[in-house]
Amino acid sequence: MSLIKRLWETLGCKIELMDPHKHDRIYAVISHLPHLAAYAIVNTVNDVDGNFIKFAGQGFKDTTRIAMSPPEIWRDISAYNRDNLLEMLTLLKQNLDKMENLLIKGDYKGLEEEFRRSKSLREKLK
C-alpha cells in the first residue's frame, strides 16, 4: 500500500485513507450529485424550449459542462451508488424547496442568506 500511496503523492495528490462507504457517500454529494444536477438543468431547458440553448452564456456552460459526460458511465455510477445518491437528491430537493418557498414568500433577505451560506462554503474551495 505504501508504494501506491507514494506514487500518488509523487504525482501531487493528497492521500487520505478511508472506509469505502465513507468514500461513496462523499463522492455521491461532491461528484455524482453535480452530474445529475447538470443533466437535469439541461433537460429543463429542453422541456421549456430546446431552442433557448442558443442564448446560453458562460455561466450556463460552466454549470453544465459535465452534462457532456458519457451517459453510460453515469448510468453505471448512479446504479452502483444508488442509495447514497438518493439521499443526496433528497437533500438537494430540500434546498431547492427552501429557495422556492423563500421566493414564494418574497423573503429576499432569506434568499440572500441562502446565497451567503453557499458562497461561504464555496470560497473554501481553491
Quote the pLDDT of residue 2.
87
Spell out the domain ranges in the chain.
19-122
Level-2 CATH architecture, domain 19-122: Orthogonal Bundle (1.10)
Cβ atoms within 10 Å, residue 97? 10
Q: pLDDT tens digit string along 52-108?
A: 999 999 999 999 999 999 999 999 999 999 999 999 999 999 999 999 999 999 999
Give me Rg for the CA atoms of the chain. Answer: 18
> pTM (2 decimals)?
0.89
Q: Which spans in 29-126 are helix H?
A: 33-49, 58-64, 71-80, 82-105, 108-122
Quote the pLDDT of residue 23.
97
Contacts of 52 (CB under 8 A, 6+ apart): 45
Q: Please provide residue 18's backbone torsions phi and psi, each rounded to the nearest 5 degrees.
A: -155, 165
Q: At residue 21, what is the residue type? A: H
